[in-house]
Amino acid sequence: MKVLGLDLDPRTRCAHWHGPRDVIAIRMHCCGVFYACKDCHDALADHAPTPWPRAKWDEKAVLCGACGHEMSVRDYLRCGNACPACAAQFNPGCSEHYHFYFEV
């Protein structure tokens, strides 16, 4: 799966978020492209991001950078900050930024 970002590593960590648990990428609702984070989208895309509307939360939109497993927004929000496929731990602090990605 192709993921865009600044200084991206193989596990989807970027220049902005590069801790051991920063291993997810989001398919941006506005363009359908996976980005490591909103800041990478802002730097590389030619348009403003839009959050995923609740009505589309069953679509695949989140990628585990550890194993490549794709999950829906709903599944991601319910996963307890761990990949349901490989158990890689996700950064719990990401919840502070959900409003950029998901309609709240």
Contact assessment for residue 67 and residue 83, using Cβ atoms and an 8 Å cutoff:
yes
How many Å apart are CA 56 and CA 53, to the nearest integer?
A: 6
How many Å apart are CA 12 and CA 22, to the nearest integer?
A: 8
In 3-state terms the chain splits into helix, strand, coil percentages (rounded to 5) of 25, 20, 55
The pLDDT, as a whole number, for residue 99 is 95
The pLDDT, as a whole number, for residue 19 is 94
Contact assessment for residue 34 and residue 44, using Cβ atoms and an 8 Å cutoff:
no
Q: Which residues of the chain have pLDDT under 70?
A: none
The pLDDT, as a whole number, for residue 104 is 84
How many Å apart are CA 45 and CA 31, to the nearest integer?
A: 9
42, containing H or E segment: helix 38-44
The pLDDT, as a whole number, for residue 29 is 98
